[in-house]
Structure 1
């Protein structure tokens, strides 16, 4: 279940989300997500690139092209999540301009509180609790 708000001429920038996996372990995730999207690479342009790449029928090239678009910042990235993760953590998760989590403020599934700063590789560099 999702409520999404799109940026003009491009994809979603804000979303209220609820999802759960099938089976015994539900893996529920819910909360508010925010994305940054480039102004110079519209959704229409992305769809045209996607269609052109699909016509080439080359999965390796398709994957490589989208990896390059992502590296160039053309696909946008998630910057903010406030909610509950599939690991049972409830909190605030902030990402850098490359989409890497850099700050986590959360309560884990055992009710322990955490404030963590992370480096670009995801390693905790400072923990305040």
Structure 2
């Protein structure tokens, strides 16, 4: 299982992408997947904008939604600050396909064993690092 961290920053030193950009980089499986939205172990779920408020509500009860629904909400979200998003694919609903973690508005972490997804992340983002541990 690979764990990649994505640190792309804009000219102001602010994260240059958000959840919606990750979901689009991973199309089509990201839209076909079922996503469970949860609160991280050490921090409360936090996101801004109208979509962010909706994500916070979903995380409170560990809701599961479709990839299309998640993208629509992510498009209405300004920023995901803390949050965990775990996906399973329809053809293997008992095995995690991919996990995305928003870490303090500083970076996102993507964990998966899917080589196509790893390649998609590496090709879409500039500052991708292999996480230790």
Q: TM-score, normalised by structure 1?
A: 0.30
Instruction: Considering Cα pairs closer than 8 Å and 6+ residues apart, tell me whether 1 or 2 has the greater RCO.
Output: 2
Give the structure with the larger strand fraction. 1
Q: TM-score, normalised by structure 2?
A: 0.29
Give the structure with the larger helix fraction. 2
Larger radius of gyration: 1
